[in-house]
A and B are shown apart, each in its own frame.
Chain A
Amino acid sequence: MNLLDDTTCADAMARLYEYLDHELLPHERTAVEQHLAACEGCRYHYEFDARLLDRIRDQCRTERAPVSIRRRVDRLLASL
């Protein structure tokens, strides 16, 4: 029996985040991928959410530690 054929759009959407987060088991991942290959609507939805998560990560990881905190850490390490 091929369990992979039974993935519905609702199943695929329920697993969207776990798929994008690489948290599915291999057989679950394969099932989602087979569904996405056959379903354009779900595939585009997945792509959009993947790009949104990329955008969030890119936009929110811009901080630079100020010189003051770098000095503070250097002093701390020197004191240990």
Chain B
Amino acid sequence: MRQYTGMTNHSTMGNTVSLCEPAEPEVVGDAASRKREFGHLLDPLLDGLYGAALRMTRNREDAEDLLQDTVLRAFRFFDRFERGTNFKAWTLRMMTNLYINQYHKAARQGERVDLEDVDEFSIYAELYYQAGCLHPADPCEQVLAKLGEETIRTAIDALPPDFRLVVNLADVEGLSYEEIAQAADIPVGTVKSRLYRGRHQVQKLLWTYAQEQGIARATP
């Protein structure tokens, strides 16, 4: 079911914005070079941004809409992008803002889970307990190598929305705590605590799946 109801208006797709009209040759040059610069920065990020949109919305159509809205907004505010800084983080911040405002609030209605009950679960501690495994190259490595994309994705997707967002932005997109705080409009301390609890929950779920799939032995 599609839930993202972003600002995309398909009827505007064919409109030509005045920036491109040749009234002022100099302006046309500026607009063209601005667009070219934007395109050069955006192109190599498109796969990653689409993946990020997909991880947020968990729906291909919504992800396409969210990506398009993000591109539109990023272009509109491109003058504010500080050249030489992280364009991916800047664009992801816009995407996160759009996602939170358009979709995330609805997604978390009635689902305010704090994960307070999550203990500090650790796969390494479980393996150590089971096998006296110290060095990660032994049974630990075998478990890691068998954790596939689908299993990992299922574990992260099972997190409550607030935690899922932060874990994805940190662990998949590689944003810093400060960048996540800005993107999600939450304090850095909240980023840390959600990440801490979210990661422990992901480990707990991965351990359960690993046992179900026979990757790890069941804990007695």
Contacts and interface: CB of A to CB of B under 8 A. Distances in A.
Contacts of A60: 51, 55, 149, 152-153, 156, 171-172
Given A60-B156, A79-B17, A53 B35 contact: no
A77 B196 contact: no
B19 A57 contact: no
Interface stretch (A1-9, A27-35, A37-45): A37-45
A51 B127 CA distance: 15
A80 B140 contact: no
Contact of B17 (A51, A59, A61, A80): A80
Contacts of B101: none
Decide if the interface of chain B is mainly helix, strand, loop or mixed.
Answer: helix
Interface in B119-149: 122-125, 127, 134-136, 140-141, 144, 147-149
Given A44-B124, A62-B149, A79-B13, A73 B68 contact: yes
B176 interface: yes
B134 A73 contact: no
Contacts of A66: 50, 60, 64
A22 B68 CA distance: 32
A41 B35 CA distance: 53
Contacts of A45: 122, 124-125
Interface in A40-56: 40-41, 44-45, 47-49, 51-53, 55-56
A56 B172 contact: yes
A17 to B, nearest CB: 6
A23 B176 contact: yes
Contacts of B147: 52, 55, 59
Q: Max chain B CB contacts within 10 Å: which of A40, A55, A80? A: A80
Contacts of B192: 17-18
Contacts of B196: 17
Interface of A: 17-18, 21-23, 40-41, 44-45, 47-49, 51-53, 55-57, 59-66, 68-70, 72-73, 75-77, 79-80
Closest 4 CB pairs of A and B: A63-B51, A65-B50, A48-B124, A59-B149
Interface of B: 12-17, 19-20, 35, 38-39, 42, 46-51, 54-55, 60, 64, 67-68, 71-72, 75, 122-125, 127, 134-136, 140-141, 144, 147-149, 152-153, 156, 170-172, 174, 176-177, 192, 195-196, 199, 202-203
